[in-house]
Structure 1
Amino acid sequence: MQILKENKRVIVFLTVFLGSYFLLSAIYHWYLSLTFSPEHYPDFITYYVAKQSNDLINTFGYTGQIFPMPNHPAMAQFVNGRHVARIIEGCNAISVIILFVSFVLAFAKKIKTTFLFILSGVSIIYVLNILRVSLLCIGLYEYPESQALLHDILFPLVIYGVVLCLWVIWVKIVLKTKGNEE
């Protein structure tokens, strides 16, 4: 019993983190099982990530096109007529957002501050992901020989690095708030 009392904060953190992570992941997987729509293939969120990334590619002066891939749950991304990528469910950053939200909830103190930080962080991650997918597709068009570096190392480093920075900011906000309450 003494060990539980001494490690109460750690136990609460792990319980909230793991509980919210599994709950949000279960909700997301349930959503995926329900959302088949020919207009928003392969799922609503992935479709809009592909569409918005494609729009950004066009804004950067390239000619981007996306098409559903009927034999795969993905959108085919073309840049200047060349197929450069498949945008799949994993490209929509929802798993990263779930991880981010779970961590913030595990350190939550004030409801309003927590809600506003989650809303801001999710928005930052979503917008960054659109930029990431767009730049990755352009990078794959310009430097196809660097696919492994771009897709497997550089771009995951960017998105996870930003999430880590957001977590550090969140912990500093919580510690600052906690210090003012005591």
Structure 2
Amino acid sequence: MKKIGFNNDGYLAMKGKQEQIDAIYERLEAIGKKVLGVDKIADYGTFMAAPYDYLVNEFWALYGQYEPGHTSKERFLDSKIKVDTIELEKMRSSLQKLVKEMGKHAPNFSKAKMTNNLKKSDFAIFLNPEKEEEYNALENFINAARVLRAKYNAGTAGSIVTFHNNISLDHYNEADGFLKINTYEYAQR
């Protein structure tokens, strides 16, 4: 299958969301390690899904074994270390929202770690085989116009744009003859 472009805007949007997730992940991890007094979170999947509940249960498991049975796990944690439950809930909510927005590109949270699934290759635009003949004809037409312009100082690119609906001016790439094919019209969906 022929690659005809790259969805840079889509990739950058997902990369921005991934960076936000990374920041939340690092912040939650730092809070978890501080509260629990450990070097590593035992179960990142559970922790990222419900940080406060995880901290309460793990703190109790680590330090609450000598407390009376009627002691509330939440109060026990709050009496030893102040945890900002509102901040944790905001981070949890933001994390879940970002994960949902990223869809298939969202990271996975396993017991051991977070694994990023964002790949640049997922944003490649491939030619729809049913439109290949028309795309190739446009590509040849534009290449011929570039040669005529470069070698023989032929007319302006603006007049060529009117020849076909899917040819446009590329103002960001003037050195290349500033003509381009609207790749989204020919993309495989």
User: Normalized against structure 2, the TM-score is what?
Assistant: 0.25
User: Normalized against structure 1, the TM-score is what?
Assistant: 0.26
Rg larger for: 2
